[in-house]
Structure 1
Amino acid sequence: MTIHSNKLFPSVNKELKQLNQNLHKMIIAEHPILYAAAEKLLNTGGKRIRPALVLLVGNITTKKQKISAEQKRLAEITEVIHNASLVHDDVIDDCETRRGVETVHSIFNNKVAILTGDFLFAQSSWYLANLNNLDVVKTISKVIIDFAEGEIQQGTKTFDNKISIENYIEKSFYKTASLIACSCKATTILSHCNEKVQEDFYLFGKHLGLAFQIIDDILDITSSTESLGKPAGSDLKNGNLTAPLMFTLEEKPELNKLIYKEFENKQDINKAIRITTNSIGIRKAKDLAEEHIQIAIHIIKSKYKHKDIKDLLLVSYYVLNRIN
């Protein structure tokens, strides 16, 4: 089943349109270069999956399915935090394009890009504090700590063919799933839900986020630069060994030679991609993503089927079907 992103969020389309307008108001900066860099990042678009999930969870957990002003603001904060992490990621990975356009550090420089990311984190923290909910502040603040933990784990394991799937999942949680899990939980806190409901939606977000990252890692190998919006094989180039490659190593040990050489030229990257796509690696990685999606869906279907959950399920299916 192919699902187009513009059909993902019909019940919160109005809120997402308003969110796009509000994001630009949230990044006002006194220095024109800082503002231009931040606005450039937001103008690259994206599917807004993270803020949409906040709005959808708000729809399910609030009385009379009325999303509160605080939840709408949380959706905006979530997207600003996500974009702050992207600009830092692009500097660390030396990625020249994202979503088909030049990255902030490519247009300006690394210093401006790092300061832009810091500025966006600071702005999101200010708006987060203004929600006046200490539990939400604690929940979302943990995400920024997790981003740093994930980057350190990734940076110290480059070209490490001994990394385990458990290590990979932990890193993927820190880098991707933590934001989705914590923002889903924070939404339920704003809905005044009990701790059991908060935990349910935290786990839903965690497993959805892990699946999202695994599928991203598959796409890095199987998709073209044009469809990715960034160079294919970026993970290989930077020495980030992901699930498809790790599963391939079990079947194709000759891949180790290319890892030892640290994919020193373009031909090595292309060869590694060919080996991986002709192995069980892609299939096993997708199976792993599907396991996490099924856990996420089970949580929602088993406990909240009396609610209007179809859009939340649609997002879950979309995450998995991006590689079809």
Structure 2
Amino acid sequence: MTTLFSRIVSRISGTPRKTLFGCPQCYQSLVFKTLCHSAIDSDTKGDTALMEKVDPYSLVADEISLVSKRLRSSVVAKVPELSSAAGYFFKEGVEGKRTCSMVLLLMARAMDIHGTETPFYCTKDSITTELHRRQQLIAEVTEMIHVASLIHDDVLDDADTRRGIGSLNFVVGNKLAVLAGDFLLFRALRILASLGNTEVVSLLATAVENLVTGETMQMAATVEQCSSMEYYMQKTYNKTASLISNSCKAIALLSGQTPRVATLAFEYGKHLGLAYQFIDDILDFTGTSASLGKGSLSDIHQGIITAPILYALEEFPQLQYVIEKGFENPANVDLALDYLWKSHGIQRTRELARKHANLAAAAIHSLPQTTTMDVIKSRQALINLTQLLTTRNK
């Protein structure tokens, strides 16, 4: 009789990578229910239910709490006003969902390091503890970069709310908000330098560069570029998916994984980040200010064209005229929304999110086999997360 381990391992390894990534029919046939069941065989209903119930947050809740405490101490500056501003979004109660930290800490656990050789002068436990500490630093750095980008975005957008409270620029003014964002970026780079890994530093520096590039693409887009799905996808990768994908790859490299495994970690972060943003784009039209923690319809009021409108444009080419006129006039916003609700824009954007969520899950399925239950559970949690983040309503 096969063991639970062998049944799980046979499914975790999944179909060869070429089949999953190279065959559109294959990844399109992967639905969320299948993904959540796929870690084990159907003949073990109790085991299936157990794996389905793996809660991503609960697996790393203690680590997330530790990362949050370290972040609060890491952003202390010599000038009290700067400390207060830099730590504004790290205070308890306004920390956000800590999604980046959760993904990265789960990815760290999903990297099977139990088969690596241990130097004669070290113990396995000492190596594992040191590795986890370094991987937690990546989570801290990523949160700093992420928050810095939000602060800068709010300044550029003249936003007045974020996470259900006043935006930092609204509370302390643009100048101090910009300085606080800069401070977080430089503090993040200093922590990165302490890791002594030039490839990891390069990955996170690339992510910061992409964040700036994406924001510039959004600001400087022509009407033609605003109407291009290809342009939108590249901008979305730069602004949203690049940070998490490069951070996932950094986690893999720090744990001594092969280039192939590091690439799979990157692919997971990339597709999860894209799927997350597509759902955000939907919620900007369907959510409420209370659920979003900021104003609804904020993108279109700023003239930012996202996937739902782009899909509506494919069905109603006359929408192009509205886009060209701009959205300073509320009547043009209402007209664009009228076309959107008559189209399949929301549905098609949701399907796009599901497609990329499936690709993220496929990357986890393609990781090398393991017999370590903690690793198996973490990989299942990453798969479950693709569903949780793309079926959310806030």
The TM-score normalised by the length of structure 2 is 0.77
Output the CA distance in 2 between the equivalents of 1:254 and 1:181. 37
1:18 aligned to which of 57, 61, 66: 66
The residue that corresponds to 1:59 in the other structure is 109
1:216 CA drift (Å): 0.9
Distance, in Å, in 2 between the alignment partners of 1:162 and 1:268 is: 16
Aligned counterparts of 1:26 and 1:265: Cα–Cα separation in 2: 44
Q: Determine whether 1:313 maps to 2:380.
A: no
**Which of 141, 158, 169 does residue 77 from structure 1 map onto?**
141
Q: CA deviation at 1:181?
A: 0.4
Q: CA deviation at 1:305?
A: 6.3
Q: Does 1:31 align with 2:31?
A: no
CA distance in 2, matches of 1:302, 1:118: 38
1:117 and 2:181 correspond: yes
Q: Distance in 1 between matches of 2:333 and 2:87?
A: 33
- SS class of match (1:30): coil
CA distance in 1, matches of 2:189, 2:139: 13
Q: Contact between 2:56 and 2:106, CA under 8 Å: does it hold in 1?
A: no
1:178 to 220, 242, 246: 242
Asked if the contact 1:161/1:256 (under 8 Å) is kept, the reply is: no
| Greater RCO, CA 8 A, separation 6+ | 2
How far apart in 2 are the matches of 1:152 and 1:185? 25
Q: Which runs of 4+ in 1 moved over 6 A?
A: none
Q: Distance in 1 between matches of 2:90 and 2:138?
A: 17
DSSP-derived class of the 2:366 partner:
helix
Q: Contact 1:211–1:293 at 8 Å: present in 2 too?
A: yes
Deviation at 1:162, TM superposition (A): 5.4
Deviations, residues 226-257 of structure 1 (Å, cap 9, x unaligned)? 11111111111111111111001112334334
Output the CA distance in 2 between the equivalents of 1:312 and 1:73. 20
- Alpha-carbon separation, structure 2, partners of 1:95 and 1:120: 20
Question: Alpha-carbon deviation of 1:113?
Answer: 1.1
Give the whole-Å Cα distance in 1 for the aligned partners of 2:225 and 2:345. Answer: 14
1:100 maps to 164
Q: Give how far 1:62 is off.
A: 4.4
SS state at 1:68 partner: helix
Shift of 1:73: 1.1
- Separation (CA, whole Å) in 1 of partners of 2:250 and 2:366: 21
Partner of 2:317: 253
Say which SS state the counterpart of residue 327 (structure 2) adopts.
coil
Of the candidates 252, 261, 264, which is equivalent to residue 200 of structure 1?
264
Q: CA deviation at 1:158?
A: 5.8
Superposed counterparts of 1:126-145, under 5 Å: 126-145=190-209
Q: State the Cα distance separating 1:275 from its structure 2 match.
A: 3.0
How much has 1:135 moved relative to structure 2?
1.3
2:361 paired with 1:293 = no
Contact 2:207 2:243 in 1 (8 A): yes
Kept in 1, the 8 Å contact 2:226–2:304? The answer is: no
Query: Per-residue displacement from partner, 1:4-45 (whole Å, max 9, x unpaired)?
Result: xxx541111110111111111110111122111112122322
Structure 2 equivalent of residue 213 of structure 1: 277
Opposite residue 364 of structure 2, the aligned amino acid is I
What amino acid sits opposite 1:317 in the alignment?
A: Q
Q: Secondary structure of the equivalent of 1:193? A: coil
TM-fit CA distance, 1:166: 1.3
Instruction: Tell me the residue number matched to 1:4.
Output: none
| Contact 1:16–1:52 (8 Å) recurs in 2 | yes
5+ residue gaps in structure 1?
A: 2-6
Give the alignment partner of residue 252 of structure 2, picking from 184, 188, 195. 188
Q: Do the aligned partners of residues 304 and 232 (structure 1) sit closer, same or farther apart at CA in structure 2, a change above 3 Å counting? A: farther
**Distance in structure 2 (CA, Å) of the matches to 1:181 and 1:49:** 13
Larger radius of gyration: 2
In structure 2, what residue type is equivalent to 1:11?
Answer: L
Q: Structure 2: any 5+ residue segments left out of the alignment?
A: 1-31, 33-54, 115-127, 371-375
Q: Given residue 311 of structure 2, which amino acid in structure 1 is its aligned partner? A: F
TM-score by length of 1: 0.93
More divergent stretch after superposition (38-47 vs 286-295): 38-47
Alignment coverage as a number of residue pairs = 321
Displacement of 1:274: 4.0
Amino acid at match of 2:103: L
How far 1:169 sits from its partner (Å)? 0.9
Residue 291 of structure 1 deviates from its aligned partner by 1.0
Is 1:279 matched up with 2:327? no
Answer whether contact 1:56 1:311 (CA < 8 A) is retained. Answer: yes
Distance 1:251 1:110, change over 3 A: same
Alignment-derived partner of residue 224 in structure 1? 288
